[in-house]
Amino acid sequence: MTSFPDGFLWGAATAAHQVEGSNVNSDFWANEGRMPGMERSGDACDSYHRYPEDMRLLAEAGLNTYRFSIEWARIEPVPGLISKAQLAHYRRMIDTALGLGLTPLVTLHHFTNPRWFAEEGGWLGERAIERFTSYVEAATSILDGVPYVATMNEPNMLAMMTGLARAMQQAQASGEWQSPTVENDNGARKPLPAPEPEIGKRFVEAHHAVRDIVRKRTGAAVGWTVANRAFETRPGAEEKRRELEYIWEDLYLEGSRGDDFVGVQSYSAQWVGPEGIEPYPPHPDNTLVGTAYRPDALGIAVRHTRDVTGGVPIIVTENGIATKDDERRIAYTAEALQHLAAAMDDGIDVRGYIHWTALDNYEWGHWEPTFGLIAVDRETFERTPKPSLAWLGDVARGGALPELAREATAR
Ligand code: IFM
């Protein structure tokens, strides 16, 4: 199959902190600039004000879906004080999307927390789930007419970051902290520290708590979005892979059983040997974030997700590439879609493909890795759609991949 079903969601995604700008009440903003080499988000893409233009560009290109997140730190600037004005802002975003014919997929939590929540102990604090639940209760008041709600983005990566932040705080307190480097001595990218299952279980609990609230109060289909590592196994490493797969993915995918959909987020694949995850070998093909060029990872991720969830409907909520070369973005996406189509041909229930990301944006401490379908001038905020946006829009309009894509994957 190289055509996709009617009603397939074709979209692009963003996250509030990465595009809005001046998210000053969030914990990430507070931490920016503390780590050597980390850049600030500042005004980001000023999408807080320019979202109508962002959405219009996506709709005009031919896409029918926009995934974006709403920002807890704005909605609840101090515990228990809900900003009606900020809720109204996000409601306007939903209305703008609907008015343009874009199906909104709203993420309630995309990595960032209010500062006060972090100061109270964050996700490891005693009141974490109670706090998140009351934020979600407030947020549901604006979700009328939103068909898809993701409770949390990449809880597995968030668990990893939460563990890392705790280790940093402890080491700083004892004067032992040394900044982590992104590279090993041989220049290969260092594997990320593994997320702690105890932290992950807390996120599963939080997800289940708010899933029921969103279901009761809105008509939305509810799920969460999991970062997939697409592990591949060296001889003799099966057991190691299963162990790592549980820690990195399966705990979270099992947590999505009973959901209305599960979001698959896939960028690259990685080898597991008997000793553990192998660093991406340095290669000219590697992306601007150092990961291997592996468009086939999407097929691996979707198949693994189906196996673990037992068939929860899938939406690809992120897939993309950090590159300066837009031709390469098109080639990567075409090939990834070909692998997605093959998985669907094998009977996997996939309802949509949402590209990461709409705009070149703030990649969590760095501006250099450009994942966007639209370039943004950092001085004037002028948007310039790239050829990849028109390309993906054409695929969306036609519901099929052009010849070019089929040839690329046949090679
Ligand atoms: O930018 C991130 C996004 O916030 C979460 N998923 C991966 C993307 C690319 O690194």
Q: Which residue would you say has higher pLDDT here, 174 or 335?
A: 335
Q: What percentage of the chain reaches a pLDDT higher than 90?
A: 88
Listed in sequence order, the DSSP H helices in 257-386 are 297-309, 326-345
Distance 49 CA to ligand 1 centre (A): 22
Listed in sequence order, the DSSP H helices in 5-80 are 16-19, 27-31, 47-61, 72-75
Distance 174 CA to ligand 1 centre (A): 32
How crowded is residue 43: how many other Cβ atoms within 10 Å of its Cβ? Answer: 16
- Give nearest CA residue, ligand 1 atom 10: 363
Place of tokens 């609990």: 205
Distance 104 CA to ligand 1 centre (A): 19
Angle at 33 between CA 27 and CA 38, to 5 degrees: 105
Distance 82 CA to ligand 1 centre (A): 28
**Distance from C-alpha of 59 to C-alpha of 97, rounded to nearest angstrom:** 9
Pairing of strands 276-277, 270-273: antiparallel
Give which of 386, 382, 372, 363 is closest to 323, Cα–Cα.
372
| CATH code for residues 2-410 | 3.20.20.80
Distance 363 CA to ligand 1 centre (A): 7
- Give nearest CA residue, ligand 1 atom 2: 363
Residues with Cβ within 6 A of ligand 1? 15, 18, 154, 265, 318, 356, 363, 371
What's the pLDDT tens digit per position in 226-254? Answer: 999 999 999 999 999 999 999 999 999 99
Ligand 1 mutation pick, 318, 332, 368, max ligand atoms within 8 A of CB: 318
**3-state class (DSSP) for residue 156:** helix
pLDDT at 319: 99
pLDDT at 167: 84
Ligand 1 mutation pick, 153, 363, 367, 373, max ligand atoms within 8 A of CB: 363
Residue 328 pLDDT > 70: yes
Q: What's this model's pTM, rounded to 2 decimal places?
A: 0.95
> So where are the chain's domains?
2-410
pLDDT at 190: 63
The closest-lying atom of ligand 1 relative to the alpha carbon of residue 15 is: 4
What's the pLDDT tens digit per position in 275-285? Answer: 999 999 889 99
Ligand 1 mutation pick, 189, 268, 357, max ligand atoms within 8 A of CB: 357
**Distance from C-alpha of 295 to C-alpha of 266, rounded to nearest angstrom:** 9
Residue 92 pLDDT > 80: yes
Q: How large is the angle between the packed helices 155-173 and 197-217, nearest 10 degrees? A: 130
Distance 379 CA to ligand 1 centre (A): 23
How crowded is residue 363: how many other Cβ atoms within 10 Å of its Cβ? Answer: 18
